[in-house]
Amino acid sequence: MQKLVVTGGKPLRGELSVQGSKNSALPIMAASLMCGGECRLHRCPKLTDIYAASRILNFVGCRCTFSGNSAAVDSRSIDRTEIPEELMREMRSSIIFMGAMLGTAGECTVSVPGGCELGPRPIDMHLTALKRMGVDISELSGRIVCRIPSGRAHGAKISLAFPSVGATENIILCAVTADGETVINNAAREPEICDLCGFLRACGARITGDGESRIVVKGKAKLHGCEYTIMPDRIAAATYLSMTAAAGGEIILTNACVPETEPFLSVLEQTGCSIYTGENKIYLHSGVRLRAVRERIRTMPHPGFPTDAQAVLMAALAAADGTSIFEENIFDCRYRHTDALIKMGADIQVLGKVAIVKGVRRLHGANVEATDLRGGAAMAVAALAAEGTTQITKISHIDRGYEKIEEAVSALGGDIRRA
Ligand code: EPU
């Protein structure tokens, strides 16, 4: 099994082009099967989750190929509507194929998706909404069997109890080819939802209101292929900024999505780092010891502080001056990385959804295991700032979301290698 070996204490300096967004690319790949033609996707990150999505596409009869950071998906030859359990289990986003298959074929059989263990991750909101659009859903030997009796879903007015990203995506996908208008109230406002809608519009879909709480989709019978460039990954950006903040140094992120990263930047700035933004660029300088963040850091749906950046910022604040308090409001169990940080010398107390982080003078290297994607990235952040060497195992979690993390960090002068 591969591991990352990181020796801390070296400042990071240089320029880094931000990878394409995983959480945009995955639903967009699912959506591409609805186009009945060829889609060319640019800035597609090379990640294990992306390859898992391509395996699903190829299984149902599409032809998905890669050339560098571009993917081509030809959906003219779809001939299956079932996704086997082993492919569903590979990642959480496999559930988004449900809306796409229903919108294309009027039926699908899937199973409960896999993904990071962040506490219970039900799909009740996805299923309730799809039922309102005319989908019959039953469970048969652990499989979820979905069928639209008339072959085409109908529009509906749906109010989500919580602005779930995945449920919003599934509803949009089923709605773009449905008969009539679908209104989603309390829709997720994450930038990745806007990117999915941007892609679908390029394929001919009629969607308005994305980025706001009320999305309106006017269904149409057919979509067409298109060429599309995926947005930059705001969480990868947050991770490399946290690394530089923790280890010291200066970084220029190019290809960054600045407004979308602002909820994170406005908190990071409180640590005393200098941050400047320009068009698609973020500059950060970290010289002296970081300061704790005074305000409680509450994870919230966008435009609140992103849950996906909670762990990496916590790692940076573990050796800051003073006490920072986190409140995780999106997932029930997203503090699994704290044990590893404590092993590296951090002083963190978890009380339900609150984590109290008392900054220590310095972290030290240790042998740790990645617990999940962002938790694993947090360990890399801590390791770059720590005294001595850290070995991170179970890095398959990290590879699900970061494109060649060791190459990116080495190019900035960090001492990190894959072994
Ligand atoms: N939820 C329900 N019922 C549902 C759907 C969601 O109770 O039917 C709950 C979840 O259990 C969770 C909360 O609602 O407690 C938020 O879930 P949401 O559906 O918004 O999240 P998701 O679609 O499963 C996506 C990202 C996550 C990111 C969240 C929140 C992808 C592939 N995943 O997950 O990304 O944390 O939105 O922004 O887009 C990551 O990249 O590391 C990651 C976990």
Do 287 and 248 contact (CB within 8 A), yes or no? Answer: yes
The Cα–Cα gap between 191 and 182 comes to 20
Do 338 and 358 contact (CB within 8 A), yes or no? Answer: no
Q: Is the CB–ligand 1 distance for residue 308 below 6 Å?
A: yes
pLDDT at residue 115 is higher than 70: no
User: Which whole-number Å values give the CA distances from 358 to 59, 260, 324, 346, in the listed order?
Assistant: 49, 29, 7, 8
Pick the catalytic residue from 35, 39, 44, 116.
Answer: 116
Task: Among 165, 186, 332, name the best residue to mutate to test ligand 1's pocket (greatest count of ligand atoms within 8 A of Cβ).
Answer: 165
How does DSSP classify residue 30?
H
The pLDDT, as a whole number, for residue 93 is 85
User: Tell me: the pLDDT tens digits for 159-216?
Assistant: 999 999 999 999 999 999 999 999 999 999 999 999 999 999 999 999 999 999 999 9
Q: Is the CB–ligand 1 distance for residue 374 below 6 Å?
A: yes
Which of these, 196, 180, 177, lies nearest to 188 by C-alpha position?
196
Do 101 and 108 contact (CB within 8 A), yes or no? Answer: yes
The pLDDT, as a whole number, for residue 262 is 98
Which of these, 61, 2, 52, 67, lies nearest to 33 by C-alpha position?
61
User: Tell me: the pLDDT tens digits for 314-344?
Assistant: 999 999 999 999 999 999 989 999 999 999 9
pLDDT at residue 118 is higher than 80: no
Average pLDDT for 45-67: 96
Which of these, 16, 84, 14, 12, lies nearest to 55 by C-alpha position?
84
pTM: 0.97
The pLDDT, as a whole number, for residue 345 is 98
The pLDDT, as a whole number, for residue 40 is 98
User: Which whole-number Å values give the CA distances from 97 to 38, 49, 100, 131, 392, in the listed order?
Assistant: 17, 14, 5, 16, 32
Q: Is the CB–ligand 1 distance for residue 371 below 6 Å?
A: no
User: Tell me: the pLDDT tens digits for 3-19?
Assistant: 999 999 999 999 999 99
Q: Helices 373-385 & 234-247, crossing angle to 10 degrees? A: 20
Tell how far the Cα of 164 is from the centroid of ligand 1, in angstroms.
6
> Is residue 273 annotated as a catalytic residue, yes or no?
no
Q: Is the CB–ligand 1 distance for residue 93 below 6 Å?
A: yes
The pLDDT, as a whole number, for residue 119 is 63
User: Tell me: the pLDDT tens digits for 349-395?
Assistant: 999 999 999 999 999 999 999 999 999 999 999 999 999 999 999 99
Q: Is 339 left (phi over 0), alpha (psi -120 to 50) or beta?
A: alpha
